[in-house]
Chains A and B, each alone.
Chain A
Amino acid sequence: MFASDVLVAQNIGFAIIATIMVIGALRVVTTNNVVHAALWLVVVLAGAAAQYVLLAAEFVAITQVLVYIGAVMVLFLFGTMLTRTRIGAESDLNNKNLFFGIFVALTLFVAMAMALNSEFGSEKMPANPAVATTQEISDQIFGPYLLPFWALSFVLLAAVVGAIVLARRD
């Protein structure tokens, strides 16, 4: 009885957050204002963090808030500022592939929805999933996935050096 109440609450929460996320994502790709697009992207990323909490992934949710909403969004706003995109509405942000884009996106979505429905139709999530602790995740990262972690460190180093080399004035 109690568990089913929790599940109903989870479903309502999922529906609300998912609606907000889809509206935000649509605004990101349709708005005429670059700064507004960045702020709508914050809404989508925060909604994704909330979905991660629903999926019992608290560490990933916190990382999402720190890295995406904290760092990536500041980068986007700096990029908007430094390229002197007009702060305000602009008319020519879309190219002439508009209808081609709508066609591709709709076709892709129909194909994916059909595949997902036929494969996962009404399969339910496990009722009482174990919440992943940070210790378990670190055991994963520094155990079986150590090599990708090293590779990732090199990627980040290369990205930092590359960004400096690209953006410096000489």
Chain B
Amino acid sequence: MLVNQFLLLAAVLFCIGVYGVIARKNAVLVLMSIELILNSVNINLLAFSMRNGSLDGHTFALYIIAIAAAEVGVGLAMVLLMYRNRRSIDLDELSEMKG
């Protein structure tokens, strides 16, 4: 196995996630794209952990999983609030939020 194959896979997933964040309008789908990005970071951390023969990457991957769970919880609560106030979760229609 090469080091690069894991890193390239993570890069592909990261870019697909970035595309999703930019191009999607539905807030739940944007959150899903963020999950893709976080997962690609985890693959990177574990690949480097194996390359360097150290366990630090495992610890950080576990922390990132916990942070992602918290982020999804708060994010979906915000989406719910948005739906309750506006009957729509299209991010493009949130234009009056600007200062």
Contacts and interface: CB of A to CB of B under 8 A. Distances in A.
Interface of A: 7, 10-11, 14, 18, 21-22, 25-26, 28-29, 34, 37-38, 41, 44-45, 48, 51-52, 54-57, 59-60, 63-64, 67-68, 71-72, 75-76, 78-80, 82-85, 90, 92-95, 97-98, 100-102, 104-106, 108-109, 112-113, 116-117, 120-126, 129-130, 132, 136-137, 140-141, 145, 148-149, 152, 155-156, 158-160, 162-164, 166-167, 169
Interface of B: 1-9, 11-20, 22-26, 28-29, 31-33, 35-36, 39, 42-43, 46-47, 49-51, 53, 55-59, 61-63, 65-74, 76-81, 83-84, 89-92
B46 A55 contact: yes
A141 B77 contact: no
Given A130-B53, A167-B77, A63 B65 contact: yes
Nearest to B63: A152
Contact of A57 (B35, B61, B83): B61
Contacts of B4: 116-117, 120-123
Given A67-B65, A76-B76, A116-B11, A52 B46 contact: yes
Contact of B29 (A34, A60, A63, A136): A34
Given A72-B68, A79-B79, A163-B74, A97 B22 contact: yes
A36 B79 CA distance: 19
Contacts of A164: 77
B16 A26 contact: yes
B24 to A, nearest CB: 6
B49 to A, nearest CB: 7
A75 B72 contact: yes
B76 to A, nearest CB: 4
A138 to B, nearest CB: 10
Contacts of B49: 55, 57
Contacts of A45: 35, 39
A169 B18 CA distance: 33
A72 B25 contact: no
